[in-house]
Structure 1
Amino acid sequence: MANHIKNERWVYVIEGENGNSARVKDLLLMGYDHFSKAMPLTNHVHEDAYEFVYVDQGVVDWEIGDETYHTNAQQVIHTSPGERHRAKFDYIGPSTIWWMIIRDPAQNKEWFGLQEEERQIFVNWMQNCPRIQLVSKDVVVYFKQLKQLLQNQSTVLLDFQLRHYVMEILLHLFHHSQLVVHSPNMHTYTQQLKDRLQQNPSARYSIEQLAKEFGLSESHFYRVFRETNGQSPIVCMERVRIDCASQMLKESKMSITDIAMELGFKTSQHFATVFKKMIGVTPKAWRKQNMQR
Protein backbone atom coordinates (compact mmCIF):
# COMPACT_ATOMS: atom_id res chain seq x y z
CA MET A 1 0.00 0.00 0.00
CA ALA A 2 2.82 2.39 0.90
CA ASN A 3 4.28 1.97 -2.57
CA HIS A 4 1.33 3.91 -4.00
CA ILE A 5 1.97 6.94 -1.77
CA LYS A 6 4.03 9.58 -3.56
CA ASN A 7 6.68 11.75 -1.96
CA GLU A 8 5.16 14.82 -0.37
CA ARG A 9 7.00 18.02 0.53
CA TRP A 10 5.88 21.29 2.08
CA VAL A 11 8.36 24.07 2.86
CA TYR A 12 7.71 27.58 4.11
CA VAL A 13 10.42 30.23 3.95
CA ILE A 14 9.61 33.02 6.38
CA GLU A 15 12.10 35.50 5.00
CA GLY A 16 10.84 37.14 1.85
CA GLU A 17 7.19 36.68 2.83
CA ASN A 18 4.85 39.57 3.42
CA GLY A 19 2.18 39.87 6.09
CA ASN A 20 2.12 38.91 9.76
CA SER A 21 4.34 35.85 9.40
CA ALA A 22 7.18 38.05 8.16
CA ARG A 23 7.27 39.71 11.57
CA VAL A 24 8.38 36.43 13.17
CA LYS A 25 11.92 36.77 11.90
CA ASP A 26 13.42 34.18 14.25
CA LEU A 27 11.58 31.30 12.56
CA LEU A 28 13.53 31.09 9.30
CA LEU A 29 12.12 27.96 7.67
CA MET A 30 9.71 25.19 8.46
CA GLY A 31 8.90 22.05 6.54
CA TYR A 32 7.25 18.66 6.30
CA ASP A 33 8.51 15.77 4.20
CA HIS A 34 7.05 12.35 3.51
CA PHE A 35 9.48 10.18 1.58
CA SER A 36 8.10 6.95 0.12
CA LYS A 37 11.49 6.32 -1.48
CA ALA A 38 14.99 7.62 -0.86
CA MET A 39 15.68 11.21 -1.89
CA PRO A 40 18.85 13.35 -1.97
CA LEU A 41 19.72 15.33 1.15
CA THR A 42 23.28 16.54 0.72
CA ASN A 43 25.67 18.63 2.78
CA HIS A 44 24.33 21.97 3.99
CA VAL A 45 24.92 24.35 6.86
CA HIS A 46 23.00 27.09 8.71
CA GLU A 47 25.53 29.66 9.82
CA ASP A 48 23.40 31.54 12.36
CA ALA A 49 20.62 29.09 13.12
CA TYR A 50 19.66 25.83 14.78
CA GLU A 51 17.79 23.12 12.89
CA PHE A 52 15.45 20.72 14.70
CA VAL A 53 14.16 17.62 12.89
CA TYR A 54 11.45 15.40 14.34
CA VAL A 55 11.25 11.89 12.87
CA ASP A 56 7.55 11.04 12.77
CA GLN A 57 7.88 7.74 10.90
CA GLY A 58 10.75 5.59 9.73
CA VAL A 59 14.45 5.53 10.50
CA VAL A 60 16.93 8.22 9.40
CA ASP A 61 20.73 8.19 9.60
CA TRP A 62 22.59 11.51 9.65
CA GLU A 63 26.16 12.71 9.32
CA ILE A 64 27.02 15.84 11.30
CA GLY A 65 30.63 16.81 10.89
CA ASP A 66 32.56 13.56 11.21
CA GLU A 67 29.96 11.82 13.37
CA THR A 68 27.12 9.51 12.34
CA TYR A 69 23.79 9.55 14.20
CA HIS A 70 20.86 7.12 14.03
CA THR A 71 17.32 8.36 14.67
CA ASN A 72 14.04 6.47 15.02
CA ALA A 73 10.45 7.62 15.17
CA GLN A 74 9.63 9.90 18.12
CA GLN A 75 13.14 11.34 18.18
CA VAL A 76 14.31 14.89 17.52
CA ILE A 77 17.83 15.62 16.30
CA HIS A 78 19.31 19.10 16.11
CA THR A 79 22.28 20.84 14.55
CA SER A 80 23.95 23.96 15.91
CA PRO A 81 24.94 27.08 13.95
CA GLY A 82 27.77 26.40 11.55
CA GLU A 83 27.54 22.58 11.71
CA ARG A 84 27.68 20.97 8.30
CA HIS A 85 25.22 18.08 8.04
CA ARG A 86 23.50 15.73 5.62
CA ALA A 87 21.63 12.46 5.44
CA LYS A 88 24.01 9.52 5.54
CA PHE A 89 25.30 8.70 2.02
CA ASP A 90 23.56 11.94 0.84
CA TYR A 91 20.16 10.20 0.72
CA ILE A 92 17.31 10.13 3.20
CA GLY A 93 15.35 6.88 3.11
CA PRO A 94 11.60 6.29 3.37
CA SER A 95 10.42 8.35 6.33
CA THR A 96 8.24 11.22 7.50
CA ILE A 97 9.86 14.22 9.15
CA TRP A 98 8.92 17.67 10.46
CA TRP A 99 11.61 20.31 10.75
CA MET A 100 12.21 23.93 11.56
CA ILE A 101 15.18 26.27 11.39
CA ILE A 102 15.29 29.02 14.00
CA ARG A 103 17.71 31.85 14.55
CA ASP A 104 20.38 31.45 17.23
CA PRO A 105 19.03 33.10 20.41
CA ALA A 106 22.58 34.06 21.38
CA GLN A 107 22.70 36.42 18.42
CA ASN A 108 19.40 38.21 18.82
CA LYS A 109 18.44 40.00 22.03
CA GLU A 110 14.81 40.24 20.88
CA TRP A 111 14.56 36.50 20.15
CA PHE A 112 10.87 35.58 19.85
CA GLY A 113 10.01 38.55 22.07
CA LEU A 114 11.31 36.91 25.25
CA GLN A 115 12.65 38.75 28.25
CA GLU A 116 16.43 38.73 28.64
CA GLU A 117 16.41 36.18 31.47
CA GLU A 118 14.17 33.82 29.47
CA ARG A 119 16.30 34.21 26.34
CA GLN A 120 19.45 33.31 28.28
CA ILE A 121 17.79 30.12 29.52
CA PHE A 122 17.21 29.05 25.92
CA VAL A 123 20.75 30.09 24.94
CA ASN A 124 22.22 27.85 27.64
CA TRP A 125 19.87 24.97 26.86
CA MET A 126 20.51 24.99 23.11
CA GLN A 127 24.25 25.08 23.62
CA ASN A 128 24.17 22.08 25.95
CA CYS A 129 21.13 19.96 25.05
CA PRO A 130 21.55 16.34 23.87
CA ARG A 131 21.99 15.85 20.13
CA ILE A 132 19.05 13.41 20.01
CA GLN A 133 16.02 13.52 22.27
CA LEU A 134 12.98 11.31 22.61
CA VAL A 135 9.62 13.09 22.70
CA SER A 136 6.00 12.04 22.44
CA LYS A 137 3.98 12.24 19.26
CA ASP A 138 2.09 15.15 20.82
CA VAL A 139 4.72 17.47 19.38
CA VAL A 140 3.31 16.78 15.89
CA VAL A 141 0.16 18.66 16.91
CA TYR A 142 2.18 21.86 17.23
CA PHE A 143 3.98 21.32 13.94
CA LYS A 144 0.62 20.84 12.23
CA GLN A 145 -0.74 23.98 13.86
CA LEU A 146 2.25 25.94 12.59
CA LYS A 147 1.74 24.54 9.09
CA GLN A 148 -1.95 25.44 9.12
CA LEU A 149 -1.25 28.97 10.34
CA LEU A 150 1.40 29.58 7.70
CA GLN A 151 -0.85 28.24 4.95
CA ASN A 152 -3.88 30.32 5.92
CA GLN A 153 -2.53 33.45 7.64
CA SER A 154 -6.10 34.55 8.35
CA THR A 155 -5.71 36.09 11.78
CA VAL A 156 -4.27 39.37 12.98
CA LEU A 157 -2.71 37.45 15.87
CA LEU A 158 -0.75 35.24 13.52
CA ASP A 159 2.67 36.40 14.67
CA PHE A 160 1.70 35.80 18.29
CA GLN A 161 0.38 32.30 17.51
CA LEU A 162 3.47 31.38 15.49
CA ARG A 163 5.72 32.32 18.41
CA HIS A 164 3.44 30.37 20.75
CA TYR A 165 3.65 27.10 18.80
CA VAL A 166 7.40 27.37 18.24
CA MET A 167 7.81 27.82 21.99
CA GLU A 168 5.58 24.79 22.63
CA ILE A 169 7.81 22.63 20.44
CA LEU A 170 10.97 23.85 22.15
CA LEU A 171 9.45 23.40 25.60
CA HIS A 172 8.62 19.78 24.73
CA LEU A 173 12.35 19.29 24.28
CA PHE A 174 13.55 21.60 27.02
CA HIS A 175 11.62 19.96 29.85
CA HIS A 176 12.13 16.33 28.75
CA SER A 177 8.59 15.92 30.06
CA GLN A 178 7.31 13.60 27.35
CA LEU A 179 9.78 10.72 27.30
CA VAL A 180 6.91 8.39 26.48
CA VAL A 181 7.44 5.20 24.52
CA HIS A 182 4.35 3.29 23.47
CA SER A 183 5.87 -0.01 24.60
CA PRO A 184 9.28 -0.27 26.30
CA ASN A 185 9.05 -4.05 25.88
CA MET A 186 8.55 -3.59 22.14
CA HIS A 187 11.66 -1.40 21.93
CA THR A 188 13.65 -4.16 23.62
CA TYR A 189 12.12 -6.80 21.36
CA THR A 190 12.87 -4.71 18.26
CA GLN A 191 16.52 -4.43 19.20
CA GLN A 192 16.70 -8.17 19.82
CA LEU A 193 15.12 -8.78 16.41
CA LYS A 194 17.68 -6.49 14.76
CA ASP A 195 20.50 -8.31 16.54
CA ARG A 196 19.18 -11.65 15.29
CA LEU A 197 18.97 -10.38 11.74
CA GLN A 198 22.49 -8.95 11.86
CA GLN A 199 23.73 -12.38 12.88
CA ASN A 200 21.60 -14.13 10.24
CA PRO A 201 20.35 -11.56 7.68
CA SER A 202 18.88 -14.19 5.37
CA ALA A 203 16.36 -15.25 8.01
CA ARG A 204 12.76 -14.47 7.13
CA TYR A 205 10.18 -13.94 9.87
CA SER A 206 6.45 -13.66 9.24
CA ILE A 207 4.21 -11.27 11.18
CA GLU A 208 2.44 -14.33 12.53
CA GLN A 209 5.70 -15.75 13.88
CA LEU A 210 6.83 -12.45 15.45
CA ALA A 211 3.42 -11.82 17.01
CA LYS A 212 3.44 -15.31 18.53
CA GLU A 213 6.90 -14.71 19.98
CA PHE A 214 5.76 -11.43 21.54
CA GLY A 215 2.48 -12.88 22.77
CA LEU A 216 0.03 -10.71 20.82
CA SER A 217 -2.40 -11.19 17.98
CA GLU A 218 -1.05 -10.34 14.52
CA SER A 219 -3.08 -7.13 14.22
CA HIS A 220 -2.23 -5.95 17.75
CA PHE A 221 1.47 -6.75 17.30
CA TYR A 222 1.59 -4.89 13.99
CA ARG A 223 -0.08 -1.81 15.50
CA VAL A 224 2.15 -1.69 18.59
CA PHE A 225 5.30 -2.32 16.54
CA ARG A 226 4.44 0.48 14.09
CA GLU A 227 3.46 2.93 16.82
CA THR A 228 6.66 2.21 18.76
CA ASN A 229 9.10 2.15 15.84
CA GLY A 230 7.44 4.39 13.26
CA GLN A 231 7.62 1.68 10.60
CA SER A 232 6.19 -1.74 9.91
CA PRO A 233 8.02 -4.94 10.96
CA ILE A 234 8.70 -5.81 7.31
CA VAL A 235 10.28 -2.42 6.56
CA CYS A 236 12.31 -2.61 9.76
CA MET A 237 13.72 -6.02 8.84
CA GLU A 238 14.46 -4.95 5.27
CA ARG A 239 16.33 -1.93 6.62
CA VAL A 240 18.60 -4.18 8.67
CA ARG A 241 19.35 -6.31 5.60
CA ILE A 242 20.12 -3.24 3.50
CA ASP A 243 22.48 -1.95 6.19
CA CYS A 244 24.22 -5.32 6.06
CA ALA A 245 24.32 -5.07 2.28
CA SER A 246 25.96 -1.64 2.46
CA GLN A 247 28.78 -3.06 4.57
CA MET A 248 29.19 -6.12 2.35
CA LEU A 249 29.38 -3.97 -0.78
CA LYS A 250 32.05 -1.88 0.88
CA GLU A 251 34.13 -4.55 2.57
CA SER A 252 33.87 -7.59 0.30
CA LYS A 253 34.41 -8.42 -3.34
CA MET A 254 31.27 -10.56 -3.53
CA SER A 255 29.13 -10.01 -6.60
CA ILE A 256 25.86 -8.15 -6.16
CA THR A 257 23.97 -11.32 -7.02
CA ASP A 258 25.83 -13.29 -4.36
CA ILE A 259 25.15 -10.59 -1.79
CA ALA A 260 21.47 -10.66 -2.67
CA MET A 261 21.35 -14.42 -2.20
CA GLU A 262 23.34 -14.19 1.04
CA LEU A 263 20.74 -11.78 2.42
CA GLY A 264 17.81 -13.97 1.44
CA PHE A 265 16.47 -12.02 -1.53
CA LYS A 266 14.93 -14.23 -4.20
CA THR A 267 16.44 -12.26 -7.07
CA SER A 268 19.16 -9.65 -7.51
CA GLN A 269 16.56 -7.42 -9.20
CA HIS A 270 14.37 -7.40 -6.10
CA PHE A 271 17.43 -6.70 -3.95
CA ALA A 272 18.43 -3.77 -6.18
CA THR A 273 14.89 -2.33 -6.04
CA VAL A 274 14.75 -2.44 -2.24
CA PHE A 275 18.31 -1.11 -1.93
CA LYS A 276 17.62 1.89 -4.17
CA LYS A 277 14.37 2.68 -2.40
CA MET A 278 16.13 2.83 0.97
CA ILE A 279 19.57 4.17 0.04
CA GLY A 280 18.75 6.23 -3.05
CA VAL A 281 21.11 4.61 -5.53
CA THR A 282 21.61 1.12 -6.94
CA PRO A 283 23.98 -1.33 -5.21
CA LYS A 284 26.42 -0.97 -8.11
CA ALA A 285 26.40 2.83 -7.93
CA TRP A 286 26.72 2.81 -4.14
CA ARG A 287 29.71 0.46 -4.25
CA LYS A 288 31.41 2.65 -6.84
CA GLN A 289 30.75 5.86 -4.87
CA ASN A 290 31.87 4.35 -1.60
CA MET A 291 35.08 2.95 -3.01
CA GLN A 292 35.98 6.46 -4.19
CA ARG A 293 35.77 7.90 -0.65
Structure 2
Amino acid sequence: MKPAGFAYHAPDDLDHALDLLAELGDDAKVLAGGQSLVPILALRLARFDHLVDLNRIGVLRGVERADGALVVRAMTRQRAMERVDDVPLLARATPLIGHFQIRNRGTVGGSLAHADPASEYPAVALALDADLELASRRGRRSVPASEFFQSTWTTTADPDEVLVAARFPRWEGRAGFAVEEVARRHGDFALAGAVCAYEPGARAAIALFGVAPTAVRAPAAEKAMLAGVPADEVAHEAVRDLQPADDVHASSATRVRLARAVVRRAVTGAREEAGA
Protein backbone atom coordinates (compact mmCIF):
# COMPACT_ATOMS: atom_id res chain seq x y z
CA MET A 1 0.00 0.00 0.00
CA LYS A 2 0.95 3.64 -0.32
CA PRO A 3 0.25 6.54 2.07
CA ALA A 4 -2.77 8.75 1.54
CA GLY A 5 -1.91 12.13 0.05
CA PHE A 6 -0.41 14.82 2.27
CA ALA A 7 1.26 18.21 2.01
CA TYR A 8 5.00 18.07 2.77
CA HIS A 9 6.76 20.87 4.68
CA ALA A 10 10.52 21.01 5.25
CA PRO A 11 11.32 24.09 7.37
CA ASP A 12 14.94 25.21 7.70
CA ASP A 13 14.67 26.47 11.27
CA LEU A 14 12.81 25.61 14.44
CA ASP A 15 10.74 28.79 14.54
CA HIS A 16 9.30 28.03 11.11
CA ALA A 17 8.45 24.48 12.20
CA LEU A 18 6.70 25.75 15.31
CA ASP A 19 4.76 28.28 13.23
CA LEU A 20 3.55 25.49 10.96
CA LEU A 21 2.46 23.29 13.85
CA ALA A 22 0.64 26.19 15.51
CA GLU A 23 -1.17 26.93 12.26
CA LEU A 24 -1.98 23.37 11.20
CA GLY A 25 -2.85 21.85 14.59
CA ASP A 26 -4.13 18.28 14.63
CA ASP A 27 -3.89 18.02 10.83
CA ALA A 28 -0.07 17.95 11.00
CA LYS A 29 2.43 15.33 12.12
CA VAL A 30 6.14 15.82 12.79
CA LEU A 31 8.53 13.66 10.74
CA ALA A 32 11.88 12.83 12.35
CA GLY A 33 13.72 9.71 11.16
CA GLY A 34 10.54 8.21 9.74
CA GLN A 35 11.39 4.65 10.76
CA SER A 36 8.08 4.23 12.59
CA LEU A 37 5.87 6.89 11.03
CA VAL A 38 6.47 6.04 7.37
CA PRO A 39 5.44 2.35 7.70
CA ILE A 40 2.35 3.42 9.66
CA LEU A 41 1.41 5.85 6.88
CA ALA A 42 2.16 3.30 4.16
CA LEU A 43 -0.15 0.78 5.82
CA ARG A 44 -2.76 3.53 6.27
CA LEU A 45 -2.95 2.89 9.98
CA ALA A 46 -2.89 6.68 10.33
CA ARG A 47 -3.44 9.63 8.02
CA PHE A 48 -2.34 13.26 8.26
CA ASP A 49 -2.97 16.12 5.86
CA HIS A 50 0.45 17.64 6.54
CA LEU A 51 3.92 16.30 7.42
CA VAL A 52 6.46 18.68 8.96
CA ASP A 53 9.97 17.32 8.33
CA LEU A 54 12.55 18.37 10.95
CA ASN A 55 15.62 16.98 9.20
CA ARG A 56 16.89 20.35 7.94
CA ILE A 57 16.90 21.97 11.39
CA GLY A 58 20.51 21.90 12.54
CA VAL A 59 19.87 23.09 16.12
CA LEU A 60 18.00 19.87 16.77
CA ARG A 61 21.09 17.71 16.22
CA GLY A 62 23.97 17.02 18.58
CA VAL A 63 24.95 16.04 22.11
CA GLU A 64 26.34 18.10 24.96
CA ARG A 65 27.22 17.58 28.61
CA ALA A 66 25.92 20.05 31.16
CA ASP A 67 25.23 20.06 34.90
CA GLY A 68 25.79 16.36 35.39
CA ALA A 69 23.64 15.27 32.49
CA LEU A 70 23.92 14.24 28.86
CA VAL A 71 21.68 16.46 26.73
CA VAL A 72 20.69 14.73 23.50
CA ARG A 73 18.96 16.92 20.94
CA ALA A 74 15.95 15.29 19.38
CA MET A 75 17.20 14.81 15.79
CA THR A 76 20.43 13.11 16.87
CA ARG A 77 20.68 9.78 15.06
CA GLN A 78 20.42 6.67 17.16
CA ARG A 79 23.75 5.37 15.87
CA ALA A 80 25.51 8.20 17.75
CA MET A 81 24.31 6.75 21.06
CA GLU A 82 26.38 3.60 20.52
CA ARG A 83 29.49 5.68 21.26
CA VAL A 84 28.16 7.40 24.40
CA ASP A 85 30.21 6.12 27.33
CA ASP A 86 28.94 8.33 30.17
CA VAL A 87 25.32 7.10 29.96
CA PRO A 88 25.90 3.35 29.57
CA LEU A 89 22.21 2.45 29.37
CA LEU A 90 21.87 4.46 26.16
CA ALA A 91 24.94 2.83 24.64
CA ARG A 92 23.76 -0.67 25.54
CA ALA A 93 20.15 -0.21 24.50
CA THR A 94 20.96 1.20 21.07
CA PRO A 95 22.35 -1.95 19.36
CA LEU A 96 19.07 -3.69 20.23
CA ILE A 97 17.05 -1.21 18.16
CA GLY A 98 16.18 -2.71 14.78
CA HIS A 99 19.17 -3.04 12.44
CA PHE A 100 22.02 -0.67 11.62
CA GLN A 101 20.09 0.80 8.68
CA ILE A 102 17.28 1.73 11.08
CA ARG A 103 19.71 3.29 13.56
CA ASN A 104 21.38 5.28 10.79
CA ARG A 105 18.10 7.09 10.10
CA GLY A 106 16.16 6.77 13.34
CA THR A 107 16.44 9.57 15.89
CA VAL A 108 16.52 9.59 19.66
CA GLY A 109 13.72 12.15 19.88
CA GLY A 110 11.63 10.32 17.33
CA SER A 111 11.78 7.11 19.35
CA LEU A 112 10.88 8.90 22.57
CA ALA A 113 8.04 10.88 21.01
CA HIS A 114 6.63 7.81 19.24
CA ALA A 115 6.27 6.16 22.67
CA ASP A 116 6.10 2.56 21.52
CA PRO A 117 5.73 0.42 24.67
CA ALA A 118 8.22 -2.13 23.31
CA SER A 119 10.87 0.49 22.56
CA GLU A 120 14.12 0.66 24.51
CA TYR A 121 14.69 4.44 24.80
CA PRO A 122 11.50 5.25 26.77
CA ALA A 123 12.52 2.63 29.34
CA VAL A 124 16.00 4.14 29.60
CA ALA A 125 14.53 7.63 30.01
CA LEU A 126 12.18 6.37 32.71
CA ALA A 127 14.88 4.49 34.62
CA LEU A 128 17.26 7.46 34.62
CA ASP A 129 14.59 10.05 35.49
CA ALA A 130 15.29 11.90 32.27
CA ASP A 131 13.67 15.26 31.49
CA LEU A 132 12.18 15.90 28.05
CA GLU A 133 12.15 19.44 26.66
CA LEU A 134 9.17 20.49 24.54
CA ALA A 135 8.92 23.65 22.45
CA SER A 136 6.02 25.49 20.84
CA ARG A 137 5.13 29.06 19.91
CA ARG A 138 3.83 29.35 23.48
CA GLY A 139 7.29 28.70 24.92
CA ARG A 140 9.26 25.79 26.31
CA ARG A 141 8.61 23.34 29.11
CA SER A 142 10.42 20.41 30.67
CA VAL A 143 8.50 17.22 31.39
CA PRO A 144 9.85 14.36 33.54
CA ALA A 145 9.88 11.03 31.73
CA SER A 146 7.60 9.67 34.45
CA GLU A 147 4.90 12.11 33.26
CA PHE A 148 5.63 12.12 29.53
CA PHE A 149 4.52 8.64 28.47
CA GLN A 150 0.75 8.22 28.80
CA SER A 151 -0.17 5.13 26.78
CA THR A 152 0.71 3.30 23.57
CA TRP A 153 1.94 5.89 21.04
CA THR A 154 0.61 8.65 23.32
CA THR A 155 2.50 11.31 25.27
CA THR A 156 1.71 14.55 27.08
CA ALA A 157 3.05 16.61 24.15
CA ASP A 158 0.42 18.88 22.59
CA PRO A 159 -0.16 18.86 18.80
CA ASP A 160 1.73 22.15 18.41
CA GLU A 161 4.76 21.01 20.44
CA VAL A 162 8.05 19.51 19.30
CA LEU A 163 10.34 17.41 21.45
CA VAL A 164 13.63 19.28 21.10
CA ALA A 165 15.93 17.51 23.59
CA ALA A 166 16.21 14.85 26.26
CA ARG A 167 18.30 15.30 29.37
CA PHE A 168 19.72 12.05 30.78
CA PRO A 169 21.37 12.29 34.25
CA ARG A 170 24.82 10.73 34.44
CA TRP A 171 25.55 8.30 37.24
CA GLU A 172 29.00 8.96 38.66
CA GLY A 173 31.13 6.66 40.77
CA ARG A 174 30.92 2.90 41.13
CA ALA A 175 27.78 1.78 39.33
CA GLY A 176 26.62 -1.05 37.12
CA PHE A 177 24.23 -1.07 34.17
CA ALA A 178 22.43 -3.69 32.11
CA VAL A 179 19.86 -3.93 29.32
CA GLU A 180 18.22 -7.28 28.64
CA GLU A 181 15.39 -8.24 26.30
CA VAL A 182 13.80 -11.19 24.54
CA ALA A 183 12.71 -10.90 20.90
CA ARG A 184 11.86 -13.55 18.33
CA ARG A 185 14.66 -12.28 16.09
CA HIS A 186 17.36 -9.70 16.59
CA GLY A 187 15.93 -6.36 15.58
CA ASP A 188 12.31 -7.29 16.31
CA PHE A 189 10.40 -5.45 18.98
CA ALA A 190 10.95 -6.97 22.39
CA LEU A 191 8.40 -9.37 23.83
CA ALA A 192 9.76 -8.26 27.20
CA GLY A 193 12.74 -6.17 28.23
CA ALA A 194 14.38 -4.58 31.25
CA VAL A 195 16.93 -1.88 31.94
CA CYS A 196 18.74 -1.69 35.26
CA ALA A 197 21.13 0.78 36.89
CA TYR A 198 22.69 0.11 40.28
CA GLU A 199 24.95 2.02 42.65
CA PRO A 200 25.70 -0.16 45.68
CA GLY A 201 24.25 1.20 48.89
CA ALA A 202 22.89 4.30 47.18
CA ARG A 203 20.28 3.76 44.47
CA ALA A 204 18.78 1.32 42.01
CA ALA A 205 16.59 1.83 38.97
CA ILE A 206 14.64 -0.83 37.08
CA ALA A 207 12.30 -0.20 34.16
CA LEU A 208 10.48 -2.75 32.02
CA PHE A 209 9.28 -2.47 28.44
CA GLY A 210 7.09 -4.55 26.16
CA VAL A 211 4.80 -5.60 29.03
CA ALA A 212 2.40 -2.66 29.47
CA PRO A 213 0.96 0.27 27.46
CA THR A 214 4.10 2.23 28.41
CA ALA A 215 7.48 1.46 29.91
CA VAL A 216 7.08 1.01 33.67
CA ARG A 217 9.29 1.44 36.73
CA ALA A 218 9.47 -1.25 39.39
CA PRO A 219 9.94 0.60 42.70
CA ALA A 220 9.39 -2.45 44.93
CA ALA A 221 12.03 -4.35 42.97
CA GLU A 222 14.41 -1.41 43.20
CA LYS A 223 14.03 -1.37 46.98
CA ALA A 224 14.64 -5.10 47.13
CA MET A 225 17.73 -4.77 44.95
CA LEU A 226 19.19 -2.11 47.23
CA ALA A 227 18.53 -4.36 50.23
CA GLY A 228 20.64 -7.11 48.68
CA VAL A 229 17.74 -9.46 47.98
CA PRO A 230 18.65 -12.29 45.52
CA ALA A 231 18.09 -11.46 41.87
CA ASP A 232 15.27 -13.99 41.41
CA GLU A 233 13.31 -12.43 44.27
CA VAL A 234 13.94 -8.95 42.88
CA ALA A 235 12.57 -10.15 39.55
CA HIS A 236 9.51 -11.58 41.28
CA GLU A 237 8.81 -8.17 42.83
CA ALA A 238 9.24 -6.48 39.45
CA VAL A 239 6.53 -8.54 37.76
CA ARG A 240 4.16 -8.96 40.71
CA ASP A 241 1.58 -6.45 39.43
CA LEU A 242 2.12 -6.82 35.68
CA GLN A 243 -0.94 -7.64 33.59
CA PRO A 244 0.17 -7.58 29.94
CA ALA A 245 -2.48 -8.01 27.28
CA ASP A 246 -2.66 -11.19 25.24
CA ASP A 247 -1.81 -10.60 21.58
CA VAL A 248 -0.70 -12.49 18.47
CA HIS A 249 2.93 -12.35 19.59
CA ALA A 250 2.64 -13.73 23.12
CA SER A 251 0.15 -14.47 25.86
CA SER A 252 0.05 -12.41 29.02
CA ALA A 253 1.52 -15.28 31.03
CA THR A 254 4.38 -15.69 28.57
CA ARG A 255 5.28 -12.02 28.76
CA VAL A 256 5.28 -12.13 32.56
CA ARG A 257 7.62 -15.15 32.55
CA LEU A 258 9.93 -13.44 30.05
CA ALA A 259 9.87 -10.21 32.03
CA ARG A 260 10.91 -12.05 35.16
CA ALA A 261 13.79 -13.68 33.29
CA VAL A 262 15.11 -10.44 31.78
CA VAL A 263 14.86 -8.59 35.09
CA ARG A 264 16.81 -11.37 36.80
CA ARG A 265 19.54 -11.19 34.15
CA ALA A 266 19.65 -7.38 34.23
CA VAL A 267 19.88 -7.24 38.03
CA THR A 268 22.62 -9.86 38.06
CA GLY A 269 24.57 -8.07 35.33
CA ALA A 270 24.30 -4.64 36.94
CA ARG A 271 25.39 -5.99 40.31
CA GLU A 272 28.38 -7.77 38.83
CA GLU A 273 29.50 -4.68 36.96
CA ALA A 274 29.19 -2.58 40.11
CA GLY A 275 31.29 -5.10 42.00
CA ALA A 276 28.50 -5.91 44.42
The answer to whether the superposition gives a TM-score over 0.5 is: no
Structure whose residues are more often helix by fraction: 1
TM-score by length of 1: 0.30
Structure whose residues are more often strand by fraction: 2
